Structure 1
Amino acid sequence: MNDNRLHDTEQICFSGAGSMAESIVRGLIHKGVAKPAQIIMHNRSNLERLEYLSGEYGVRTASQDAEKEKDLQEASVIVLAMKPKDAAEALRALGTKLNGNPLIVSVIAGLSISTIQALLGIALPIARTMPNTSSSIGLGATGISLSAEVNAEQQQTVMSMFEAVGQVSVIPEAQMDILTGVSGSGPAYIYYMMEAMIAAGIEGGLSAEHARELTVQTVLGAAVMMKETGEDPAKLRKDITSPNGSTQAALEVLDAHHFTAGVKAAVHRCAERSREMGEAVRAALS
Structure 2
Amino acid sequence: MVGKRTFIGWPFLQEGFVVAVSDSLFKYEQMVVIPGSPPKIVANPHAPQGLSHWMMKAQRIEQHYSKKCGVITGDVKVLVHVQPLKGSMKRLESGAFVKDYEGPDKEVEQAVQMVISQVASEDPRFLEQDPPPLSEEFPDGCKIFFLGEHAYGVAAQVASTSNDALSVILAFFPSDKAENDKFKAIVQNRVSSQYYPSFKAANMLHISGRALSRITSSFMVLTSDSTKNNLGLSLKFEAKSLKVIDYSRKEGRHWEFSEKTIDLIREYKVRCWWHAGKSDVLIGFAHQAKFPEVFRVLDQNGDGTTIYDCN
Q: Does the alignment reach a TM-score above 0.5?
A: no
Instruction: Determine which structure has greater relative contact order: mean sequence separation of CA pairs < 8 Å that are 6+ residues apart, divided by chain length.
Output: 1
Q: Which has the higher strand share?
A: 2
More helix, by proportion: 1
TM-score by length of structure 1 reads 0.23
Rg larger in structure? 2
